[in-house]
């Protein structure tokens, strides 16, 4: 299904094949992993009129064959382009116009492609993102399972928060608990307490957890798919005003989620949220949400001016926030699966928890 959609793009744009690669063991090529189920070193070739195949180092070959693509060939002495040319020639696949993922294609590699294959390149990164927007039944099962793990880990961290000496220790706990289950994290966990919570992407510090609101943003990566959830708790004794602001934001978030319908314009959803925030909208300093999949930020984009539309089987976040610089910050984030109505995948309580 996934490759069929990509081949339709190749046919429409008159491109001979798609070329995805990864030569860095410290990272993953998202589209190579998405279309092949293999996240290691090597390359994925998807011809318009032939079967797709992988090229991988010999040490990775067995793992490569465990993905969706059963045609996997050893890389010739680390010479990727030599291997590609040999296999293309054997399969009689022409290489005049090649589709590439411009967002994950270095300038140096592009120069090699032009020199070695004598081919013209066309960026299809946007088309790949659009193909990844709608999740398959298999993907949805994986993502739901990932949230089962993530919810348990996040809840365990929240209950243990009073035992941590610092934001950094709390963040490390989230990563450690993930690794204990053989999982990665979708991103470096955010633990931002007190005044630090006014910075949406605060990096956890090796200092005491501050009293006040504490924002914890966390997700695991399970079988190649990300999860994302944010909860804001309170350390100490909140004032009535602080409780009021938190519950106001919570009600806005719940209202926005429940109101989302298929074919809704994402920019309009953002505008509705800003309107509901009223005077607090000036303290809402980021987008309302984003798609979640093999990458933590995918389409659709729920931000001001976005022309994306909500479609069935999309998975995306809804995360309004209020950030008063140097004072406090609150963010409440759920990940939603769009069926006939929005289904919230994150199950950790959103009531204001007081530590």
Q: Residue 77 pLDDT > 80, yes or no?
A: no
97 pairs with which residues across the strands? Answer: 120
Say yes or no to pLDDT of 276 above 90. Answer: yes
**Is the pLDDT score of 70 beyond 90?**
no
For residue 1, the model assigns a pLDDT of 60
Q: What percent of the chain has pLDDT over 90?
A: 91
Please tell me which of 22-26, 71-75, 93-97, 224-228 the model is most confident about, judged by mean pLDDT. Answer: 224-228
Q: What is the pLDDT of residue 50?
A: 93
Alpha helices in 22-166 (DSSP H): 30-36, 61-64, 80-90, 107-117, 125-133, 137-159
Place of tokens 């798919």: 225
Q: What is the mean pLDDT of residues 314-343?
A: 98
For the record, the structure tokens of 153 come out as 């880990």
Q: Which of 55, 105, 64 is nearest to 82 (CA)?
A: 55
pLDDT at 112: 87
**pLDDT band at residue 2, thresholds of 50, 70 and 90?**
confident
Predicted model pTM:
0.94
Q: Which helix (H) or strand (E) holds 216?
A: strand 212-218
Beta-sheet strand order (sheet of 97-100): 72-74, 53-56, 42-47, 17-22, 97-100, 120-123
Average pLDDT of the segment spanning 331-354: 97
- pLDDT value, residue 78: 63
Query: What region, left, alpha or beta, does residue 96 occupy, with left being phi > 0 and alpha being psi -120 to 50 degrees?
Result: alpha
Tell me: the pLDDT tens digits for 298-307? Answer: 999 999 999 9
pLDDT digits (tens, 9 = 90+) for 153-178: 999 999 999 999 999 999 999 999 99
């Amino acid at each position: 299904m996934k490759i069929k959609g990509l081949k339709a793009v190749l046919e429409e744009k008159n491109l001979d094949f798609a070329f995805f690669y990864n030569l860095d063991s410290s990272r993953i090529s998202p589209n190579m992993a998405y279309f092949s189920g293999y996240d290691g070193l090597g390359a994925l070739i998807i011809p318009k009129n032939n079967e797709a195949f992988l090229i991988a180092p010999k040490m990775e070959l067995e793992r490569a064959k465990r993905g969706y693509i059963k045609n996997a060939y050893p890389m010739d002495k680390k010479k990727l382009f030599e291997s590609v040319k040999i296999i293309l020639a054997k399969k009689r696949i022409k290489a005049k116009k090649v589709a590439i993922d411009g967002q994950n294609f270095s300038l140096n590699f592009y120069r090699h492609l032009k020199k070695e294959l004598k081919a013209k390149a066309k960026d299809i990164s946007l088309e790949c993102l659009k193909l990844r927007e709608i999740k398959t039944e298999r993907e949805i099962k994986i993502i739901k399972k990932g949230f089962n793990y993530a919810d348990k880990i996040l809840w365990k961290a929240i209950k243990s928060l009073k035992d941590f000496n610092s934001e950094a220790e709390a963040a490390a706990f989230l990563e450690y608990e993930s690794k204990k289950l053989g999982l990665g994290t979708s991103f470096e966990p955010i633990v931002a307490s007190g005044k630090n919570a006014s910075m949406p992407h605060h990096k956890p510090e090796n200092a005491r957890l501050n009293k006040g609101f504490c924002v914890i943003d966390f997700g695991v990566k399970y079988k190649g798919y990300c999860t994302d959830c944010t909860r804001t708790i309170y350390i100490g004794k909140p004032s009535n005003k602080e409780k009021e602001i938190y519950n106001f934001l919570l009600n806005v978030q719940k209202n926005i989620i429940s109101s989302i319908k298929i074919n809704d314009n994402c920019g309009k959803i953002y505008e509705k949220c800003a309107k509901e925030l009223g005077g607090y909208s000036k303290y809402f300093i980021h987008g309302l949400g984003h798609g979640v999949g093999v990458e933590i930020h995918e389409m659709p984009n729920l931000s001001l001016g976005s022309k994306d539309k909500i479609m069935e089987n999309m998975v995306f976040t809804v995360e309004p926030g209020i950030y008063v610089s140097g004072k406090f910050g609150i963010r409440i984030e759920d990940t939603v699966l769009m069926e006939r109505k929005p289904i919230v995948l994150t199950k950790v309580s959103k009531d204001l928890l007081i530590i």
